[in-house]
Amino acid sequence: MPYINPPKRIPIVMRFGIWIAEKITGQTLLPARLLSWYPKAAFSSAIMESLVAHHVGNVDRRMLKLVRMQTSFSASCPFCIDMNSFKFDEYHITDAEIEALQGLHALADVPTFSARERLALEYARSETATPLAFSGQLIAQLREQFTEREIVVLASTIAQVNYWARLIQSLGVPPSGFSTECTILRVEEYNTLNSD
């Protein structure tokens, strides 16, 4: 359960947006309901979410899906892993690739990742680390393999997942059940609460 409950009376202007989002996803979206406590945060988050990149230049849907999943695993956000991994098989993401995203295998050991995908995933790991740490070599490789626009698309996609991961974990939001049938995601192993 989350750390707080949604308000008993969600503002009318927010109800419609929540209804649309839940209709599209087919799930109850607890983060949207909790953000109803502070509508400015809800509206700004909704605007950011509506601007999500889906395919820009040579950064295709599969690469963006992999980047979102990598960021979710790197941030250890159970809700994000659940949501961002939903229908991963439609993007031809294999079990071996998921295990590499989880850090169980080196990215370089998975031959199905393209060189650009591996680089984007390393960038996601670096952008999710605390403190942020980008090696000169990584940046040089990014500039060699991606256009400036593609780098901004990757950076903003990774930052968006990081925003949601920190917000969702700060409110204690559990997974919504997008990927409950998928055991390879190991969602239950990513725990936000300290055991002390």
> Mean per-residue pLDDT for 173-183?
78
Lowest-confidence region among 101-105, 112-116, 190-194: 190-194
> Mean per-residue pLDDT for 180-195?
67
Report the C-alpha gap between 31 and 174 in whole angstroms.
10
Residue whose tokens read 């988050």: 45
Domain ranges of the chain: 12-50, 61-189
Report the C-alpha gap between 9 and 33 in whole angstroms.
10
Tens digits of residue pLDDT in 104-161: 999 999 999 999 999 999 999 999 999 998 999 999 999 999 999 999 999 999 999 9
Triad 158, 164, 170: Cα angle to 5°: 135
Q: SS3 of 121, please? A: helix
Nearest alpha-carbon partner for 96 in 111, 83, 85, 114: 111
The correct answer on CATH 1.20.1290.10 for the domain covering 61-189 is yes
